[in-house]
Copies of this chain bind each other. A is one copy, B any other.
Amino acid sequence: MRICRTPAGMNAACRDLRKGGRTLGLVPTMGALHEGHMSLVTAAKTDCDAVAVSIFVNPAQFSPNEDYAAYPRTFEEDCRKLEQAGVDLVFAPAAEEMWPVVNTTFVEPGEIATRLDGASRPGHFRGVATIVARLFNIVQPDRAYFGQKDAAQIAVLRHIVRDLNFSVHLIVCPIVREPDGLAMSSRNRYLSTPQRERALVLHQALAAAEKLATSGELSAEVIRHRLQTSLAAASDVRPDYVAVVDPDTLLPVQDVSAGALVAVAAWVGTTRLIDNLVLPPRTKA
């Protein structure tokens, strides 16, 4: 497994991997790899002739008051996992390699970037869109793998891939959960033991909403209300957003018969967690 530290070196290494029409998969990460990330690597290994993983904690997607400095960095452990999984190439640039001078060009995704996490984290999706566009340009992958946990991110990335004609297929892999249902996240390690227990309420609230929908409820407002009351039952959990939206546009839906993304974000202590599920379109009885 080769590790590249500069965009130019990575670009050349990826050209080599793609030679002779071999397909290349990219798994963009911020490191602190867990089973969720590794499921993306496994999917890429299954689909593609070669697999590249990027590990870069992207400052442009953090607000000044967020956890950029504290974000877990476990590079050596990450590399052991990736090597074991048969990854060909790791891109781990220093921040100075990505920003040798002040970057003033941004990929601006428009309105969609102001919804869900984009509403709570202004500029976040501009930062995500810009770094992902840069990774696409450096790696030029055939396929890129993202987790369903970041549902709003996926909508934004589909949007920029379409609008800017990127020649890459976005592959979305299911959320990977702990045995008790908590969605895996690099930020889960911030949680104390009692917080870790309370964090389960996100998954439980989604399960309650799903049960309601499965039992025939079509009103997005009723489902949203159930989510809110479920979340409110837990102490020291402060909801950020509770959304029942179109998964492509992230705009609120009135009823869920055409399918819907049900998404929550909540603060557990000082840790912000997200989780979601997709309600399938309702087949007429």
Interfacial chain B residues near A105, Cβ < 8 Å: 107-110, 129, 159-160, 163-164
With beta carbons under 8 angstroms apart, the residue of B11, B103, B140 that contacts A140 is B140
Whether A112 and B104, one on each chain, are in contact in the complex, defined by CB atoms closer than 8 angstroms, is yes
Distance, CA A73 to CA B12, complexed state (A): 40
Whether B140 and A104, one on each chain, are in contact in the complex, defined by CB atoms closer than 8 angstroms, is no
- B-contact 0/1 string along A2-19, CB 8 Å cutoff: 000001000100000001
- B-contact 0/1 string along A165-180, CB 8 Å cutoff: 1110000000000000
Whether B11 and A137, one on each chain, are in contact in the complex, defined by CB atoms closer than 8 angstroms, is no
Distance, CA A107 to CA B110, complexed state (A): 11
A64 at the interface (CB under 8 A from B): no
With beta carbons under 8 angstroms apart, the residue of B101, B108, B140, B167 that contacts A106 is B108
Q: Which of A101, A109, A137, A166 has the most CB of B within 10 A?
A: A137
Q: Which of A7, A19, A101, A105 has the most CB of B within 10 A?
A: A105
Whether B104 and A167, one on each chain, are in contact in the complex, defined by CB atoms closer than 8 angstroms, is no
Distance, CA A11 to CA B166, complexed state (A): 10
A-B contact pairs, 7 of them (CB 8 A): A11-B167, A105-B109, A105-B164, A106-B107, A106-B110, A107-B164, A134-B165
Q: A104-B112, A105-B107 are in contact. List 20 more A-B contacts (CB 8 A).
A: A7-B165, A19-B21, A101-B162, A104-B109, A104-B110, A104-B111, A104-B163, A105-B108, A105-B109, A105-B110, A105-B129, A105-B163, A105-B164, A107-B108, A130-B164, A133-B164, A134-B164, A137-B164, A137-B165, A137-B167
